């Protein structure tokens, strides 16, 4: 079953490498993020990409959020997060390539736990990308309640992009 507006966002464990402003070039120790603990009582924009450093993700999806992250925060969004099927080290490197620092939380769902609970995974085997890949989507969560779901119906970025999400806040 695919997540929908009004649903409670599922509890899942994701991983990330925290940004350290005292040592921005360091690669820290992996940390766990439990979605219910992190998202409870907060407004969250979570956007998902099939893979870090891939063309559509890097050229169309991520740049809008990087450019608009402060606009989201001005609308009351407390956490802006990007999640992909890549491991936390790749996600950290991708975030560094955009200089996101701690403005966008770069999360790994390498085991597909969150994507599976959301009903938003694809099989990337035919493209040699592994059996579990996140779909391209954006979700707005307010105190664990889903208020927007935009799942891309075809290649490209429309309903999951920054402009579509900003229009729903």
Residues known to be catalytic: 57
Residue 14: beta bridge partners?
A: 33
The distance in angstroms from the start CA to the end CA of the chain is 25
Burial 44-64 (b: 16+ CB within 10 A, else e): bbbbbbbbbebebbbebbbeb
d(CA 169, CA 124): 32
For residue 96, CA distances in Å to 70, 92, 134, 154, 159 come to 17, 6, 21, 28, 25
């Amino acid at each position: 079953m695919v997540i929908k507006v009004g649903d409670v966002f599922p509890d899942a464990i994701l991983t990330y490498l925290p940004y350290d402003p005292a040592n921005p070039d360091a690669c820290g120790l992996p940390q766990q993020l439990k979605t219910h603990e992190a998202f409870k009582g907060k407004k969250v924009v979570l956007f998902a990409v099939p893979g870090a450093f891939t063309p559509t993700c890097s050229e169309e999806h991520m740049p809008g959020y990087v450019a608009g992250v402060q606009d989201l925060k001005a609308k009351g969004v407390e956490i802006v997060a990007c999640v992909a099927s890549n491991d936390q080290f790749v996600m950290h490197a991708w975030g560094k390539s955009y200089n996101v620092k701690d403005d966008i939380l770069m999360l790994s769902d390498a085991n597909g736990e969150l994507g599976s609970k959301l009903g938003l995974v694809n099989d990337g085997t035919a493209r040699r990308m592994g059996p579990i890949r996140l779909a391209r989507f954006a979700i707005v969560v307010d105190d664990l309640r889903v208020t927007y779901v935009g799942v891309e119906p075809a290649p490209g970025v429309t309903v999951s992009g920054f402009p579509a999400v900003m229009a729903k806040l």
